[in-house]
Amino acid sequence: MKELGYYNGRIGELSEMTVPMTDRVCWFGDGVYDAQMCRNYHIFALDEHVDRFFRSAAMLRMTVPMSKDELKALLNSLVKKMDTGDMFLYYQLTRGAGPRGHAFPKSQPNLWVTLTPKQLIDKREPISLITVEDTRFLHCDIKTLNLIPSVMAAQQAAEAGCYEAVFYRPGGRVTECAHSNVHILKEGTLYTAPCDNLILPGIARARLLAACRRLDIPVKEEPFFLPDLLAADEIITSSSSALCLRAGVVDGQPAGLRDPERYNRIHDEIIREYMEETK
């Protein structure tokens, strides 16, 4: 298949798949999701993503209708149905279908999966960022389907000709981006926001921190602020589809790009790991 859709056991070309209008994802965005890259039919970081998927579901009092091993087996079987081994794998769980009502219905959860051709984004040239006040709710550590603030911020970035939007809370604390985590290098140390309820603990983020430790680059998981972002030696974003990118412009002003040797070591180590695990 060129693009694949899965819904509660039904499989077909993505453009031909249909779902009930009464699925709670349509009423409330009531569900969780996860996503990752696949190369050569090998799903990257599968265990970590599935663990987070189950954790997100549990935090919303939802039960995944199969075990972790069963879900992994399903995903591995679905990728083999694709015409290409390089793809973006997305899966989500909704609370179920039923009449519109805010309280939980007595229904079974619905599992969706989509597979679309895609290759890892690996840009050598620096990206541009904008900063946007973080108006999201206080459960950013759950990977829910409620993404309107991120959608609006991503649109602002696109209209400004930028790759990403960096969120900050009142007081200037930098949290994350619309669809990435963000980190800074300063005087040889990598700083990243702590894993509290204000950020999603990214799988690519965890891989980035592990790469730094292997390279003997100190890591500090602590809050940093807009002035720190603008004064950083390097600004790095990480996500499942773009594991390690560097920024050179923030809000139209030059920023970062002052420690290329250390950045390149981090980038090359992360890409080496990705290529090794998906060869």
CA distance 213 to 218: 7
CB-CB contact of 257 with 249 (8 Å):
no
**In sequence order, what E strands does 169-240 have?**
174-177, 181-186, 189-192, 219-221, 234-238
Tell me which DSSP letter residue 139 carries: -
Q: Which of 123, 143, 220, 279 is catalytic?
A: 143
Any bridge partners for residue 184, and if so which?
191, 235
| Half-sphere exposure in the Cβ direction for 216 (13 Å, CA) | 0
CB-CB contact of 157 with 171 (8 Å):
no
Determine whether 81 is an active site residue: no
Catalytic (active-site) positions? 143
